[in-house]
Amino acid sequence: MSFSRWLRPPHRLLSLFLAITLVLAAGLVWLGWRILQQDRALEGQRIQERLAQAADLASANLLRGLASLEQRVRALSVLPDPLLEREAPQAAQQLDGERSGHRAGKRPATGRRRAGRGLPS
């Protein structure tokens, strides 16, 4: 046996090493792809949850406003006629002012906003 033959690696061992390396690299690529898919799905769920929270907040505000209006109507309905004639125009002006504020796009602040997206965080 010559000295140069001792320095050459066995071809079978080199082939086995390359095959194992390729299998492991493919596994890492596949796992990375799966993580990216799961991250996208999780982000979609978070967006849906934020939208649901915003809808819940809006409906709670509407219900609160409706309860307030109902309370005002009940208070006006028990007033005697002379008092009703005096209080009704003021209540109507107040209600008109509130309605026109909502029509003009004014709405109460609902908390922090995410930069660039305009969605509640």
pLDDT digits over 85-121, tens only?
Answer: 676 677 767 766 666 655 445 554 554 444 444 444 4
Residue 52 has pLDDT above 80, yes or no: yes
pLDDT of residue 113: 47
CA distances from 114 to 30, 50, 111, 117 (A): 32, 11, 10, 6
- Sign, Cα dihedral of 17, 18, 20, 25: positive
At residue 38 the predicted structure's pLDDT band, cuts being 50, 70 and 90, is very high
Percent of the chain scoring above 90 in pLDDT? 44
Q: Is 57 within 8 Å of 110 (Cβ atoms)?
A: yes
CA distances from 58 to 23, 106, 113 (A): 53, 13, 15
Domain extents for the chain?
3-99
Residue 16 has pLDDT above 80, yes or no: yes
Claim: this prediction has a pTM higher than 0.85: no
Lowest-pLDDT choice from 17-26, 39-48, 74-83: 74-83
